[in-house]
A and B are shown apart, each in its own frame.
Chain A
Amino acid sequence: MLTFLGLTALLIKIGLVVGISQGAVAYLIYVERKIAAYAQDRIGPNRCGREFGVPLGLIQPLADGAKMILKEDVIPKYVHKTTFILAPMIAIVTATIGFAVVPFGPVGAGAPRLGADWPVQFQIAPGVDIGIVYILAIGSLAVYAVVLAGWSSNNKYSFLGGLRSSAQLISYEIPMGLSILGIVLLARSLDLNTIIEWQDRHGWGIFWQPIGFLIFLVSAFAETNRLPFDLPESEQELVGGFHTEYSAMKFGMFFLGEYLHVITVSFLTVILFFGGWDLPFVLSADQTSWISAIFKVIVMMSKVSMMIVFIMWIRWTLPRFRYDTLMNLAWKSLLPLGLLNLTVTAVLAQMILGG
């Protein structure tokens, strides 16, 4: 039952997660710009805040945010107003509510306790046993943001961007689902925390499901609309794709949504394939002290940060896919590979682990 105290704790958790993730997004943009600069032998933003003694341009995100808010917010006359305004909201909401079931530390029996019977769960909604399904479902809703934005802009470029995006996101959902099923079969649960605990006992998912990991990674890139799969935006041929007509904070919300998506996907990768908070021989589900809990959160966050940096690194390495090769990759390579992987995993799991 949800008591008043429980509700307060829940609200605090939600506030913390939303606040931290939004703040993280601002700094992710900064990190992205830095990595982009480094990959091109430049230095990147380093001026902002120099007058106040802030090194390395660390308050650049504040300036970026202020710019987004203060710019003129243009709504062109020819757009479909309702959907035009709705689209960025969908983008940001779908990206945010995915965090509800993402554990960012020990949950359940491994959670540390305040007093005798007050476990502190490092998850907004602990014990949701369809965690992965929920995240996939929310992730598919994000298509609507792009499709609605592209259609309501009433502009050929945006429309093409929206079209491409809907085909791309729907295609890559299938291999993504298939790649996750392998680890779900092994851990015998859809609950993200149970999957982490299974990996804690048996070893990380990437060793059990290397092909699944590969398929998941590729489809995750496609799902987040990041290079090499950023066909919905493709600045060169579609101007800006679905967000051509957007300005000021509406554009910023798409941006925010994209980076929130990157964070969610990184969390998911770490949880499914890199053992979540698990560190072999050091951390296990049996430790329930506060020190181990904090250590677990730190381990989890470092893994997620490394994953995010890897995603950015890929972005500045690979060129964009052509549309037909993109579709070929999804339907002719990833889908059969995913099915094969799932079948082999199912057979082996049945034979070795038993029914």
Chain B
Amino acid sequence: MRLDDPCIKKLEPPKLNVFERTYLPQIIDGLAVTGRHILGVLRGESITIEYPEQPHRPSPNYRGVHRLNKDEEGRVKCVACMLCATACPVHCIDIIGATAPEGWSDREKYPASFVIDELRCIFCGMCEEACPVDAVELTSFYDLTGLSREEMIFDKTKLLSVYDLTKDSEPSRMGNLTTF
């Protein structure tokens, strides 16, 4: 582009008059802005959340600890298709599939064991996206702590108990698509 191109729009900074060139009006404006904020906090308009006393609510699409969903009959929804374990970029999901028990007419397989290593997990949410039956989901649990590495490896029981804990406060994000 040439410098004399007619498309170039040249913006001139506005000329300041003598009073404005002392910068005093701008300083007073600035003081008014900070003053408003200071008085606002004194009136109780701060954005601080005092965490241990006041719970922090993450946004609805926050990706926290996993849960394994159950269907209406209380059975684990997972069909052991291994899609989540394949999608997982850090290989933190370990599933051992088995033939579904007698009477589970809607599927052939179920997970005999379903283990997620929460320490290895990067909480990217790809397992959740890959799952065809919306069995594995991420909850809004953010304060995940433990005293040992073993404690942080979540097995099927633990993941199902996370579902029991959160099923009322957090309905399934993908909608309840049990039939397909």
Q: Which residues of A contact B40 (CB under 8 A)?
A: 41
Q: Which residues of A contact B165 (CB under 8 A)?
A: none
CB of B27 within 8 A of CB of A317, answer yes
On whether A313 and B46 interact (CB within 8 A), knowing A41-B40, A318-B30, the answer reads no
What is the minimal beta-carbon distance from B18 to any residue of chain A, in angstroms?
Answer: 12
Q: Measured between alpha carbons, how far is A208 from B140 in the docked complex, in Å?
A: 64
Q: Say if the beta carbon of B17 comes within 8 Å of chain A.
A: no
Q: Say if the beta carbon of B96 comes within 8 Å of chain A.
A: no
CB of B35 within 8 A of CB of A37, answer no
- Encode A184-217 as 1/0 by CB contact (under 8 A) with B: 0000000000000000000000000000000000
Q: Measured between alpha carbons, how far is A202 from B41 in the docked complex, in Å?
A: 40
Q: Say if the beta carbon of A40 comes within 8 Å of chain B.
A: yes
Taking beta carbons and an 8 Å cutoff, which residues of B are in contact with A?
A: 27, 30-31, 33-35, 37-38, 40-42, 45-48, 50
What is the minimal beta-carbon distance from B41 to any residue of chain A, in angstroms?
Answer: 4
Number of interface residues of A (CB under 8 A): 13
What is the minimal beta-carbon distance from B119 to any residue of chain A, in angstroms?
Answer: 30
Q: Contact check: which of B31, B41, B48, B50 meets A314 at CB < 8 Å?
A: B31
Q: Which residues of B contact A42 (CB under 8 A)?
A: 41, 46-48
CB of B34 within 8 A of CB of A316, answer yes
Q: Say if the beta carbon of A347 comes within 8 Å of chain B.
A: no
**In chain A, residues 278-316, which have Cβ atoms closer than 8 Å to a Cβ of chain B?**
313-314, 316
Q: Say if the beta carbon of A146 comes within 8 Å of chain B.
A: no
On whether A43 and B46 interact (CB within 8 A), knowing A35-B38, A37-B41, A38-B41, the answer reads yes
- In the A-B complex, the 3 residue pairs with the closest CB atoms: A38-B38, A38-B41, A317-B30
CB of B30 within 8 A of CB of A39, answer no
CB of B34 within 8 A of CB of A43, answer no
Q: Measured between alpha carbons, how far is A37 from B35 in the docked complex, in Å?
A: 12
- Encode A20-41 as 1/0 by CB contact (under 8 A) with B: 0000000000000001011111
- Encode A305-337 as 1/0 by CB contact (under 8 A) with B: 000000001101110000000000000000000
Q: Which residues of A contact B50 (CB under 8 A)?
A: 43
On whether A38 and B30 interact (CB within 8 A), knowing A43-B46, A43-B50, the answer reads no
CB of B42 within 8 A of CB of A38, answer yes
CB of B48 within 8 A of CB of A39, answer no
Q: Contact check: which of A35, A38, A41, A317 meets B31 at CB < 8 Å?
A: A317
Q: Which residues of B contact A40 (CB under 8 A)?
A: 37
CB of A313 within 8 A of CB of B31, answer yes
Q: Which residues of B contact A43 (CB under 8 A)?
A: 41, 46, 48, 50
**In chain A, residues 2-54, which have Cβ atoms closer than 8 Å to a Cβ of chain B?**
35, 37-43
